[in-house]
């Protein structure tokens, strides 16, 4: 089969979902009100609460939630064949991710910009909130520590990406000043920013930069990881309009251009899908498709991390409540489009099935490198780009996604630290909260692994933890809908599916960790499982009470 079929069908279904299903959610379920005073206006402080143009905010939300996961997950999951991965990405984006991301954003905006963790205490209870914060903190720890490793590996393996990746920071600072200080309209800063970014990609290809093998006694990978954490710490303390917003916005534009180039290349070269539709000869050691598919592909179908971003940063910047449909739902569509591109690159970017099998000859044999390798082939054949330039474009895409997620992730982790401080009766300011978050991330990175790769030690729990968080976020949104006497079936059905698959996967992993005598992951798995089930049970009780109250109240 030709990859064009996957491209056209996948994009058509996602765009139809935004056109019709998101409108249904906006008008019938979440009932957006253009005149509602959002937290961005109510608590405007010029730092975290800043009314923002919906296109700029969409850029922040999209690039923050995307990260490397919608590339890595599909690039691994196609080992089971392209059909399961394709169906889960397309259906999950339209009916699960959209309702989840949109719902988390709406719930936070309607509750004074509270994070999903704080909302748990408001709508369910303090005990559930405390347990939820544990799950959230562990997830953010995994994301920040692991993404630093992913970025560092790509900076080492693709030195041509160094100039455009770090140059993007300077471009973002310039864009922020032009929009907020000079009050320039959005069009010209956008055009200038994209042109400069792609100019830097050409410059990077001409002048690759590689760190020495030893930097102050550290390996190059270790040095990059430390630099990334220092940068993320500084970025998390700056007002959102200075760096976070413009960086995410211009990265979103640049990344959409990159996706556009990739899609056009597919239409021109029309590559054949060489991977099997269903792989009946998976390598030894590959886990079963059910339930692992639904936690391997998290971002790109549905992801709990999205709820943290929607309720953590995006809700504090939403200018009008009606902008939530574009920011929340279309943000998830953007990620689905990236996951679709990753699938196409990894199943149609190889010359034949033997070449594909050579990459997917073991569990997790694919990944970012498979995406870069397959996508480079498609760009070279479709657009005639030099091979090295195509690889640079794709590597920069992956790094910028992961880096913007780190920016937002560390800011969110600082919020969680501050919330925990309030629960303990301690006042934790932004600087102290950031230092604590950085300290924990660095302790994991360098205390549990060589060259700062300690984050990868607990990464096997990311997929299940992330999906559990998605289910619990849908539970919070469902409780709010039920209490407001609105239809909740559109969030309850995805909630049940995601929770069942996530708990099933956690139980499967328990057996794997026990057999491998990996007591650290076994203990963390048990803690996460107990906390998640406890929160889910209390949410179910809250839903039941809400239904009973609605039944007894006069119509």
List pLDDT tens digits, range 292-328: 899 889 888 898 888 888 998 899 999 999 999 999 9
Question: 552: pLDDT confidence band, cut at 50, 70 and 90?
Answer: low
- Using the predicted structure, report yes or no on whether residue 488 has a pLDDT greater than 60: yes
In this predicted structure, what is the pLDDT of residue 105? 95
CA atoms of 488 and 89, how far apart (whole Å):
23
What is the arithmetic mean of pLDDT over 472-501?
Answer: 92
Q: What's this model's pTM, rounded to 2 decimal places?
A: 0.84
Helices within 350-429 (DSSP H only): 353-359, 368-383, 387-423
34 or 532, which is more confident: 34
In this predicted structure, what is the pLDDT of residue 448? 65
Structure-block tokens of residue 235: 């970025």
Residue 208: phi and psi, rounded to 5, are -65, 145
For residue 7, CA distances in Å to 19, 244, 264, 344 come to 18, 31, 10, 8
User: Whose structure tokens read 């770090």?
Assistant: 166
pLDDT digits (tens, 9 = 90+) for 222-232: 888 888 888 88
pLDDT digits (tens, 9 = 90+) for 429-484: 878 888 888 888 888 888 766 666 777 777 788 888 888 889 889 999 999 999 88
| Three-point CA angle 193, 195, 201, nearest 5° | 105
In this predicted structure, what is the pLDDT of residue 41? 94
pLDDT digits (tens, 9 = 90+) for 350-380: 888 888 888 888 887 777 778 878 888 888 8
Structure-block tokens of residue 35: 């005149």
User: Do 533 and 525 meet the contact criterion of CB atoms below 8 Å apart?
Assistant: no
CA atoms of 38 and 51, how far apart (whole Å):
9
345 or 554, which is more confident: 345
Question: 90: pLDDT confidence band, cut at 50, 70 and 90?
Answer: very high
- Using the predicted structure, report yes or no on whether residue 126 has a pLDDT greater than 70: yes
In this predicted structure, what is the pLDDT of residue 536? 83
Structure-block tokens of residue 327: 């920011």
What is the arithmetic mean of pLDDT over 88-95?
Answer: 95
User: For 366, left (φ over 0), alpha (ψ -120 to 50), or beta?
Assistant: beta
- Using the predicted structure, report yes or no on whether residue 554 has a pLDDT greater than 60: no
DSSP code at position 389? H
User: Do 194 and 254 meet the contact criterion of CB atoms below 8 Å apart?
Assistant: yes
How many other CB atoms are found less than 10 A from the CB of residue 545? 13
Question: 387: pLDDT confidence band, cut at 50, 70 and 90?
Answer: low
Helices within 17-68 (DSSP H only): 22-24, 39-42, 54-66
What is the arithmetic mean of pLDDT over 498-523?
Answer: 88
User: Whose structure tokens read 């998640």?
Assistant: 532
164 or 244, which is more confident: 164
Which has the closest alpha carbon to 132: 543, 521, 535? 535
- Using the predicted structure, report yes or no on whether residue 277 has a pLDDT greater than 90: yes
In this predicted structure, what is the pLDDT of residue 26? 96
pLDDT digits (tens, 9 = 90+) for 166-193: 888 888 888 888 888 888 887 888 888 8
133 or 16, which is more confident: 16
What is the arithmetic mean of pLDDT over 5-34?
Answer: 95
User: Do 528 and 506 meet the contact criterion of CB atoms below 8 Å apart?
Assistant: yes
- Using the predicted structure, report yes or no on whether residue 23 has a pLDDT greater than 90: yes
pLDDT digits (tens, 9 = 90+) for 145-154: 888 887 888 8
Which has the closest alpha carbon to 374: 390, 396, 398? 390
In this predicted structure, what is the pLDDT of residue 449? 65
In this predicted structure, what is the pLDDT of residue 322? 95
Cis check for the bond before 291: say yes or no (omega within 30 of 0).
yes
Length of the chain: 555
Instruction: List the domains of the chain with CATH numbers.
Output: 3-552 (1.20.1740.10)
In this predicted structure, what is the pLDDT of residue 553? 62
In this predicted structure, what is the pLDDT of residue 325? 95
Report residue 550 CA to chain centroid gap: 36
How many other CB atoms are found less than 10 A from the CB of residue 210? 13
User: Do 145 and 451 meet the contact criterion of CB atoms below 8 Å apart?
Assistant: no
């Amino acid at each position: 089969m030709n990859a064009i079929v996957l491209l056209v069908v996948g994009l058509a279904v996602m765009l139809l979902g935004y056109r019709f299903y998101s409108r249904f959610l906006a008008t019938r379920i979440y009932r957006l009100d253009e005149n509602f005073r959002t937290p961005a206006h109510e608590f405007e402080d010029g730092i975290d609460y800043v009314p923002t143009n919906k296109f700029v905010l969409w850029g922040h939300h999209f690039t923050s939630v995307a990260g490397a996961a919608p590339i890595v997950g599909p690039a691994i999951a196609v080992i089971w064949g392209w059909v399961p991965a394709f169906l889960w990405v397309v259906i999950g984006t339209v009916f699960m991710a959209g309702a989840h991301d949109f719902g988390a954003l709406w719930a936070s905006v309607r509750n004074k910009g509270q994070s999903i963790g704080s909302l748990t205490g408001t709508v369910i209870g303090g005990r559930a909130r405390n347990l939820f914060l544990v799950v959230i903190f562990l997830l953010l720890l995994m994301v920040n520590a692991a993404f630093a490793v992913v970025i560092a590996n790509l900076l080492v393996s693709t030195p041509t990406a160094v100039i455009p990746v770090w140059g993007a920071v300077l471009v973002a600072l310039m864009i922020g000043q032009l929009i907020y200080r000079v009050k320039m309209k959005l069009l010209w800063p956008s055009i200038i920013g994209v042109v400069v970014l792609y100019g830097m990609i050409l410059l990077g290809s001409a002048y690759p930069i590689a760190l020495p093998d030893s930097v102050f006694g550290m390996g190059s990978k270790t040095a990059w990881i430390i630099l990334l954490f220092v940068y993320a710490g500084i970025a998390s303390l700056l007002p959102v309009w200075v760096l976070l917003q413009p960086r995410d916005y211009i990265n979103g534009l640049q990344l959409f251009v990159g996706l556009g180039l990739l899609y056009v290349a597919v239409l021109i070269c029309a590559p054949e899908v060489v991977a099997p539709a269903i792989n009946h000869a998976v390598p030894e050691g590959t886990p079963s498709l059910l339930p692992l598919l639904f936690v391997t592909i998290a971002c790109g179908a549905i992801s709990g991390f999205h709820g943290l971003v929607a309720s953590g940063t995006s809700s504090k910047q939403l200018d009008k409540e009606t902008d939530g449909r574009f920011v929340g739902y279309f943000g998830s569509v953007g990620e689905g489009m990236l996951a679709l591109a990753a699938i196409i690159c990894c199943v149609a970017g190889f010359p034949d099935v033997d070449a594909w099998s050579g990459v997917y000859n073991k569990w997790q044999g694919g990944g970012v490198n498979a995406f870069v390798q397959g996508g480079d082939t498609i760009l070279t054949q479709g657009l005639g780009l030099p091979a090295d330039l195509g690889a640079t474009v794709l590597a920069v895409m992956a790094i910028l996604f992961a880096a913007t997620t780190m920016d937002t992730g560390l800011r969110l982790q600082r919020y969680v630290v501050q919330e925990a401080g309030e629960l303990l009766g301690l006042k934790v300011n932004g600087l102290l909260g950031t230092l604590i978050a950085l300290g924990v991330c660095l302790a994991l990175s360098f205390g549990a692994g060589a060259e700062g790769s300690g984050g990868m030690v607990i990464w096997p729990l990311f997929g299940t933890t992330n999906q559990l968080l998605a289910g619990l976020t849908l539970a919070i949104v469902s409780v709010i809908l039920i209490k407001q006497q609105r239809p909740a079936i559109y969030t309850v059905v995805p909630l049940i599916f995601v929770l069942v698959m996530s708990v099933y996967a956690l139980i499967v992993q328990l057996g794997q960790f026990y057999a491998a005598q990996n007591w650290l992951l076994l203990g963390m798995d048990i803690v996460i499982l107990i906390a998640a089930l406890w929160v889910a049970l209390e949410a179910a009780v809250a839903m039941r009470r809400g239904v009973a109250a609605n039944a007894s109240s006069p119509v």
